[in-house]
Chains A and B, each alone.
Chain A
Amino acid sequence: MVWVVEPALDPVQNKEFSIMTDTVIQLDDIRRYYVMGENVVKALDGISLDIKRGEYTAIMGPSGSGKSTMMHLIGCLDTPTEGSIYIDNEDVSDLQETELAFIRNEKVGFVFQQFNLLSRISSLENVMTPLMYAGIPVKQRKEMAAAALERVGLADRMKHRPNELSGGQRQRVSVARALVNNPSIILADEPTGALDTKTGNQILKLFSDLHTEGRTVLVVTHDEKIGAHCLRQIRLCDGKLEEI
């Protein structure tokens, strides 16, 4: 496997990136309550935190701690019951579905545990999909998607469909899909959960490389080893923060 690695720089310390050390995500006392019959489940209960551009952060916690809810909120798949979320200093807490879709398309790149690739189309077409929703012309889409697949080392797998690829390859297609529209955040939900240790480590290496390139990476996991791999850990317990 040939890795295309850009020169490693610590974005936080390097002066070149100082302009990028602004806040990408800002959570301001957010709460997300679910009404279940007569009970109110407080999935998130008053969370405030900032994530700077270029950070490599893990959101950790046992199941039921609220980390999935937090991922959904940061990923603009959901809106908080109370509190405000800013992405690139834009308040997204009260947006409607269509506006949220626009933010997701422009600002967020998702990497899911189960890859979530579209099974009927090739890996190239999968990576092209977010660009289609961004309204980019076909020719340019192809070039950008091909470059992203090359970036993750799958230049020779563009015409393959997901079911013709190994788990590790599929996850790399989904990483390519997450970074193709150059989002503000790459949001990974248990990205190694469906992979064996070796391929899992390769995916983590890919995330480190993306971080080194200056991208903001947020990994949601319950796995301590993966959390340790990240430069910053945020711990959730019962919907509250216990940052170290």
Chain B
Amino acid sequence: MFKENIKLALKAMLGNKLRTMLSLLGIVIGVGSVITILTLGESATKSITQSIVESGLETITIFSTSPDIKAIQYEFNEDLPEKIINNVSGISTVLAVNSSKATLRNGQQSESYTVMGVPANYAGVLDYDIAEGMFFTDKDDQDARQVVVLGAATAETLFPDGGAVGSYVSIFRTQAKSYRVVGVMEEKAASFNLQFDSSVYIPYDTYIQRVQKVEIVGNYLIRTEPDVDVLEVSDNLKNYLDRLVGEGNYRVFSPSTIAEMATSVTGTLSLVLAAIAAISLLVGGIGIMNIMLVSVAERTKEIGIRKALGAPPRVIRGQFITEAVTLTLIGGIIGVIFGTGVSLLATNMLGWSLFPQYLSYLLAVGFSMLVGIFFGWYPAMKASKLDPIEALNYE
């Protein structure tokens, strides 16, 4: 009898194509938008993650969040880089860095900049090219010489007329000290965890002896080996540091944390949007209820005949619920096709890759069937309760 009911439902739908189409529209749009939003949300997340990883940001930054903790004071020193390299695979270099804001002055020009105490191989490790002069050397570092290398923007402000290399600038921290400019860097775009152009660089030992006497290393810059999974390396690094200094006392800033942030933002956003779109599915359900009520009223005579032929109320109810569910199921399937089409179009235009959400297909179609049962129930009950004599005499 189930097969007959589906056949009857299809016949009823084909018998009034325009009306069927219009009443399906709500479900189609509802399911279509849920699918589109979920698919686009996922595709956006994946594309953002991909572009973060692919843009070659193989640097990971570690900094302490609780400098007062004993473990940090004990471990965040100049020996940590070697420990990390020995314990976490896939890491080629670890640079210890300290930095703070300080005012630089050259004659009338004065401005606040980030002063970074870095090792001599800093520029080389980060593929940061020199424009003029040279980066300071290991010897400068060991002897804690007062030399400075200027970022491109810094040099531009302090020496608008050029001629920076060989000149002296003053760096004010607790007291003013004079530094000889040994080099000026090329411009380099800031990445998510490092900015280059508005910083100045001095040797690490110079920094801790003359700028800021600190017990611990502020940051470590880590460069991974080529062709390793940066996300995996940063996870391993976190595991290692959790054991060493305890979770929550430090932070690792890496492509994976950015990717996680992006994922959680787009994920939440697409869930919220999908929930709103699901409301339109309910509105579509009301459309289905409306059309089913019309259908029951129109077919009062048919219901009377079927009752006279021996159809019990349960069977009449089943017939109309089957019809409502068939209707919403077809609407759901069209909606999935429509939503996938829109997603394909949008991802093409935005240059993302399409990630179809197969689970959401099942959910959307399942949900639209539930909508059919829910909103088909009342009309079907109404049909099943019709008085057979009145229904038969209905014209």
Chain A residues in contact with chain B, CB under 8 A?
72, 75, 77-78, 97-98, 101-102, 104-106, 110, 112, 116-118, 120-121, 129-130, 132-135, 177
Is B310 touching A101 in the complex (CB atoms < 8 A)?
yes
Is chain B's interface secondary structure helix, strand, loop, or mixed overall? Answer: helix
Known A98-B314, A120-B15; contact A133-B309, beta-carbon cutoff 8 A? yes
Contacts of B15 in A (CB 8 A): 120
A112 to B301, CA, bound (A): 13
Known A120-B11, A120-B12, A120-B15; contact A75-B308, beta-carbon cutoff 8 A? yes
Which residue of A97, A129, A135 is within 8 Å of B306 (Cβ)? A129
Is B312 touching A101 in the complex (CB atoms < 8 A)?
yes
Which residue of A98, A110, A120, A130 is within 8 Å of B312 (Cβ)? A98
Contacts of B311 in A (CB 8 A): 101, 105, 133
What bracket does the count of chain B residues touching chain A fall in? Answer: 20 to 34
Which residue of B1, B12, B305, B314 is within 8 Å of A116 (Cβ)? B305
Contacts of A112 in B (CB 8 A): 392
Is A104 touching B308 in the complex (CB atoms < 8 A)?
yes
A102 to B312, CA, bound (A): 7
Contacts of B388 in A (CB 8 A): 77
Is B305 touching A77 in the complex (CB atoms < 8 A)?
no
A154 to B263, CA, bound (A): 70
Is B313 touching A97 in the complex (CB atoms < 8 A)?
yes
Which residue of B8, B12, B310 is within 8 Å of A133 (Cβ)? B310
A76 to B124, CA, bound (A): 98
A186 to B: closest C-beta gap in Å: 13
Contacts of B12 in A (CB 8 A): 120
A-B contact pairs, 22 of them (CB 8 A): A77-B307, A77-B308, A98-B312, A98-B314, A101-B310, A101-B313, A104-B309, A104-B310, A105-B309, A105-B310, A106-B310, A110-B308, A112-B392, A116-B301, A116-B392, A118-B302, A118-B306, A120-B15, A129-B306, A132-B1, A133-B310, A133-B312
B389 at the interface (CB under 8 A from A): yes
A101 to B313, CA, bound (A): 8
B315 at the interface (CB under 8 A from A): yes
- Look across to chain A and name the residue whose beta carbon is closest to the beta carbon of B14: A120
A104 to B388, CA, bound (A): 11
Known A72-B389, A120-B12; contact A129-B312, beta-carbon cutoff 8 A? no
A202 to B312, CA, bound (A): 33
Contacts of A177 in B (CB 8 A): 309
Contacts of A75 in B (CB 8 A): 308
Contacts of B312 in A (CB 8 A): 97-98, 101-102, 133
Q: Mark B293-334, 1 if CB is under 8 A from A, else 0.
A: 000000001101111111111110000000000000000000
